[in-house]
Chains A and B, each alone.
Chain A
Amino acid sequence: MSSQTFGKPDIEHSNPLARTMLKKLDYDQLTNCMRCGFCLPACPTFRETGVEPESPRGRIALMKAVVDGVMEPDQAFEDQMNHCLGCRACEPVCPADVKYGQLIEQTRDAIEDHAKHGAIVSGTRKLFFRGVFPHQNRMKLLGRSLRLYQKSGLQKVARGTGIMKLFPAHMREMEQILPEAASQGVVERIGERYPAKGQRIATVALFRGCIMDVLFADTNVNTVKLLSEAGFDVVIPKTQGCCGALHAHSGEMDQARELARVNVKAFKDAGVDYIVSNAGGCGALLVEYDHLLHEDESWAEDAAWFAKRVVDISTILVDKGRVPAFAEEAAEGAVPEAVAETGAAATITYQDSCHLRNVMKGSTAPRKLMKSVKGAHFCEMRDSDRCCGSAGIYNVTQPEMAGQILEHKMEHANATEAQYLLTSNPGCLLQMKLGIDKHGRGGDMKAMHIVDYLYERIARPGDEA
């Protein structure tokens, strides 16, 4: 190869994946990467391995080599594309503003089109991506089964008999830290509307999420109440569904678009001023619905309407709301899980949600809120802006790399000596719980969603759901 490729190549690929990639990848974005290498230090997998193919620059070079016909996409190529966490820390540091997130999604989409999954993998994928996540009622059912498993004593039995040993180690570890599933989601608990306290500033809609509403339904309820305290009328459109982020990141683009249309319609019909997300991973896809649906002319306008209104809970509180005063100690009986305080000033630290930070650009608001907690000490951990290794279902699909990243993350978290390790995304929260479980200093650190932590500190008695 002497080298220079000018313009999208006009070649007939014999390899079917290469053919699909040529069709699906944005060639302008591939060309925009000028290979300066500024992304290297920002990339967690490059930092862990120090190997060029594990960097955004390397991965883009590989994608381009496939599209240009320089190399055939083999299994190693697919593995390398799946090794990316999708944290998008490379995007804010890119001088040329290359949309790496879109390139990796387009590549995974192409790979998915040609995947020959084994029966179990493809069955499981189909079950979750098509059969469960998109259907709120089925998520509820799954939640109820999980709850039954946890409550019936089956969990204890399973752990006691050693049957869990049949599962891979990382699945066992995840099982241990799964929070108690809620039998009721946010709408069942507080209805579809919740009024603002005091003068109304705006009407907002809650994006409740699918996993959030099963595993972290308390957080959804607390989000609504925080919004109400800050002066917002809250609507929770019942017809909304899963955001589609897990689908998009795993290459199930058509399914992701389908879900996007459902959500755009649900929120457009609700006619709200803002759409509030409390999960960085969901929010990052929601703000890009305009891009996701840009080829679909009949939806483009509504998708743009939607994307423009999406905002993270911390950002809307700080930028638009009347931020309530937060006290160091949790109000008594504020939420069932309230932690008893020792009386000493608590130290808080924070793990950024990559998608909230790198895509939604929401890194300052959570910090402002945490610093406004009276008497509590906010201690920034080293590399708080670096991915924790959770990354959607990455910790399930790539346990080795995820484990390595988590171990380093916990070294930094432990060094802060914080009692509270806060996050803004359910995946990160589970990962932090796992981290504390595996590498914690022993019992005195608690991982919480920032919303729950803040809500505990403004809640008044008798306000329970």
Chain B
Amino acid sequence: MAEKALASKLRAIVGDRYYREDMEARVAHSYDGTPMLQALPDGVVYPASTAEVAAVMKVLAEHRVPLVSRGSGSNLCGGTVPLEGGIVMVMHRMNRILEVDLENLTATVQPGLITAEFIAHIESLGLFYPPDPSSMRISTIGGNIAECSGGLRGLKYGTTKDYVIGLEAVLASGEIIRTGGKLMKDVAGYDLTKLLVGSEGTLAIITEATLKLVPPPRAKKTMLAMYRDLYGAARTVSRIIEARIIPATLEFMDNPTIRVVDDFAKLGLPLDMEAILLIEQDGDPEAVERDIALIEEICIAERADRVQVAADREEAERLLTARRSAFTALARLRPTTILEDATVPRSKIADMVLRINEIARKYNVTIATFGHAGDGNLHPTATTDARDHDEVHRVEQAFAEIFEASIELGGTITGEHGVGIVKAPYLEWKVGSAGLDMMKGIKQAFDPHRLLNPGKLFAKETRKRVVLQHE
């Protein structure tokens, strides 16, 4: 538990109700969506305003007590587990849409706002906010910004970073900064907005965000292409991009994923197929028709066994449901589901899928793969049991080798989930030692006393790289 003087100062700022250090509050904020990780904080604070956040941070800085800021705790990298104790700051009370500016097409929101509620409001105004993390019904905008969340529309529309144009944030010292604004152009100094997006709560506490909105597409069409040959499916991805078509969504599911999804959702998916591509295009009606026809041609040329264009919205929804239920279905196989997000250049998707399968065989673990093929972002998902030490160890080894393979193919260790604690030992593999030193320097400038989300991003030790056998 936190020391008495600190607790009474925090209570004076937010009120008795909104600072808790009882076991209920501590246990309930000791975890996030990441399997096998848990650590108790000393206290939990629920601020209601930027001023309260700043005042809390000043007190914590004075007492040198670490802080983890969080939204709904749905992240998958251990990003909000309070590894070093201290205070967890829950942003749920700061959940308002402050303004939708119809002249500038921007929205200004507080960090605790649930993403799906924001999207529903924006769509009711006839506008569009493209980032669509699969967790949007739970996740908060602040969490999306901290982790730079992606989603199914990343290929054509980009991810969270492409829509954040201004931020208000509280620094480790308790000072408040504002970056960017309702501006489409702004080159005044370093781009702190982009730096804070995806900084995983290690540089500052985001207290307000200005987001870019766009006009919604006028039409949408969905199709499913089924392959007996994994390569065919993967080649199709590259060929579509080569043909200068950027679909709104281009998703991939391998055979093990198809099987569990169908077993769970009973959609009548073809179980004998090696892979399925789920493709969606949006835009002007004529352009959508033209693109979908062209994509269909490419699929057939790449020896798709069957191509099925959804007749209506209902059928399209069914197809999308199939993809969305992948995680759901896989989670039912074994008690522990470890879902990663290794990402490679789009042209390397097929190589990567084969590598993953080889590695799974080598370590005798079950790994199904699905993901956002269009942007090279795969989700190799291990289904295991945390209680089986030996198997978990093999899963860890397999993932280390998967990250290695990803980097070797020109990819990265994480495309959309973030580094957090889970991938901290691999960060240097991706950015190099000079890159890592530079990042540490930035951290030092923002947070000299290591108060903000300590233990994340930077591991005590980089994992040794597995020696790969090159063919």
Interface residues of A (CB under 8 A from B): 1-4, 6-7, 28, 31-32, 34-38, 40-41, 50-53, 58, 61-62, 65, 70-72, 74, 76-77, 80, 95-97
Query: Is A96's CB under 8 angstroms from B39's CB?
Result: no
Query: Is A1's CB under 8 angstroms from B337's CB?
Result: no
Query: Is B135's CB under 8 angstroms from A61's CB?
Result: no
Question: Cβ of A74: which chain B residues have Cβ within 8 Å of it?
Answer: 23
A-B contact pairs, 28 of them (CB 8 A): A1-B30, A1-B38, A3-B37, A3-B39, A4-B36, A28-B335, A31-B335, A31-B386, A31-B387, A34-B33, A34-B35, A34-B335, A34-B337, A35-B73, A37-B32, A37-B72, A37-B74, A40-B138, A41-B114, A51-B92, A53-B25, A61-B27, A62-B24, A70-B27, A71-B27, A76-B24, A77-B23, A96-B332
Shortest Cβ distance from residue A368 to the other chain B in the assembled complex, whole angstroms:
17
Question: Cβ of A2: which chain B residues have Cβ within 8 Å of it?
Answer: 39
- In the complex, per-residue mask of B305-332: 1 if CB is within 8 Å of any chain A CB, else 0: 0000000000000000000000111011
Q: Shortest 5 CB-CB distances between A and B: which pairs?
A: A95-B331, A95-B328, A52-B28, A71-B23, A58-B28
Q: Considering the chains assembled together, what is the distance between the CA atoms of A97 and B90 in angstroms?
A: 27
Query: Quick one: closest B residue to A38, CB to CB?
Result: B138
Question: Cβ of B32: which chain A residues have Cβ within 8 Å of it?
Answer: 35, 37
B40 at interface, CB cutoff 8 A:
yes
Question: Cβ of A71: which chain B residues have Cβ within 8 Å of it?
Answer: 23, 27
Question: Cβ of B386: which chain A residues have Cβ within 8 Å of it?
Answer: 4, 6, 31
Question: Cβ of B24: which chain A residues have Cβ within 8 Å of it?
Answer: 53, 62, 76-77, 80
- In the complex, per-residue mask of B417-442: 1 if CB is within 8 Å of any chain A CB, else 0: 00000000000000000000000000
> How many residues does chain B have at the interface if contact means C-beta atoms less than 8 Å apart?
41
Q: Given A36-B135, A61-B31, list of 12 further CB < 8 A pairs?
A: A4-B38, A34-B336, A35-B31, A38-B135, A41-B116, A50-B92, A52-B73, A58-B28, A61-B28, A80-B24, A95-B329, A96-B337
Q: Considering the chains assembled together, what is the distance between the CA atoms of A31 and B384 in angstroms?
A: 12
Shortest Cβ distance from residue A45 to the other chain B in the assembled complex, whole angstroms:
13
Q: Considering the chains assembled together, what is the distance between the CA atoms of A65 and B26 in angstroms?
A: 11
Q: Considering the chains assembled together, what is the distance between the CA atoms of A32 and B385 in angstroms?
A: 9
B465 at interface, CB cutoff 8 A:
no
Query: Is B137's CB under 8 angstroms from A50's CB?
Result: no
Question: Cβ of B27: which chain A residues have Cβ within 8 Å of it?
Answer: 53, 61-62, 65, 70-71
Interface positions, chain B 22-63, Cβ under 8 Å from A, are: 22-25, 27-40
Query: Is A36's CB under 8 angstroms from B28's CB?
Result: no
In-complex Cβ contact of B137 among A6, A34, A41 (8 A) = A41
Query: Quick one: closest B residue to A50, CB to CB?
Result: B92
B156 at interface, CB cutoff 8 A:
no
Counted as pairs of residues, one from A and one from B, with CB atoms less than 8 Å apart, the total is: 102
Q: Considering the chains assembled together, what is the distance between the CA atoms of A50 and B46 in angstroms?
A: 11
Q: Considering the chains assembled together, what is the distance between the CA atoms of A41 and B28 in angstroms?
A: 16
Question: Cβ of A3: which chain B residues have Cβ within 8 Å of it?
Answer: 36-39
Query: Is A72's CB under 8 angstroms from B23's CB?
Result: yes
Interface residues of B (CB under 8 A from A): 22-25, 27-40, 72-74, 90, 92-93, 95, 114, 116, 135, 137-138, 327-329, 331-332, 335-337, 386-387, 389
Most chain B CB within 10 A, of A52, A53, A58, A71, is at A52
> Chain B interface secondary structure, helix, strand, loop or mixed?
loop
Shortest Cβ distance from residue A304 to the other chain B in the assembled complex, whole angstroms:
22
In-complex Cβ contact of B90 among A6, A36, A52 (8 A) = A52
Shortest Cβ distance from residue A51 to the other chain B in the assembled complex, whole angstroms:
8
Shortest Cβ distance from residue A386 to the other chain B in the assembled complex, whole angstroms:
14
Q: Considering the chains assembled together, what is the distance between the CA atoms of A76 and B24 in angstroms?
A: 8
Query: Quick one: closest B residue to A27, CB to CB?
Result: B387
Q: Considering the chains assembled together, what is the distance between the CA atoms of A281 and B302 in angstroms?
A: 54
Query: Is A52's CB under 8 angstroms from B39's CB?
Result: no
* CB contact under 8 A between A37 and B23, given known A2-B39, A52-B29: no
Shortest Cβ distance from residue B85 to the other chain A in the assembled complex, whole angstroms:
10
Query: Quick one: closest A residue to B325, CB to CB?
Result: A95
Query: Quick one: closest B residue to A96, CB to CB?
Result: B331
In-complex Cβ contact of B73 among A31, A34, A37, A97 (8 A) = A37
Question: Cβ of A96: which chain B residues have Cβ within 8 Å of it?
Answer: 331-332, 335, 337
Query: Is A50's CB under 8 angstroms from B93's CB?
Result: yes
In-complex Cβ contact of A95 among B31, B35, B73, B327 (8 A) = B327
Query: Is A36's CB under 8 angstroms from B74's CB?
Result: yes
Question: Cβ of A62: which chain B residues have Cβ within 8 Å of it?
Answer: 24, 27-28
Question: Cβ of B92: which chain A residues have Cβ within 8 Å of it?
Answer: 50-51
Query: Quick one: closest A residue to B36, CB to CB?
Result: A4
Question: Cβ of B116: which chain A residues have Cβ within 8 Å of it?
Answer: 41
Shortest Cβ distance from residue A116 to the other chain B in the assembled complex, whole angstroms:
21
Question: Cβ of B329: which chain A residues have Cβ within 8 Å of it?
Answer: 95
Query: Is A34's CB under 8 angstroms from B387's CB?
Result: no
Shortest Cβ distance from residue A214 to the other chain B in the assembled complex, whole angstroms:
39
Query: Is B39's CB under 8 angstroms from A7's CB?
Result: no
Query: Quick one: closest B residue to A53, CB to CB?
Result: B28
Q: Considering the chains assembled together, what is the distance between the CA atoms of A34 and B27 in angstroms?
A: 15
Q: Considering the chains assembled together, what is the distance between the CA atoms of A263 and B30 in angstroms?
A: 44
Question: Cβ of A4: which chain B residues have Cβ within 8 Å of it?
Answer: 36-38, 386
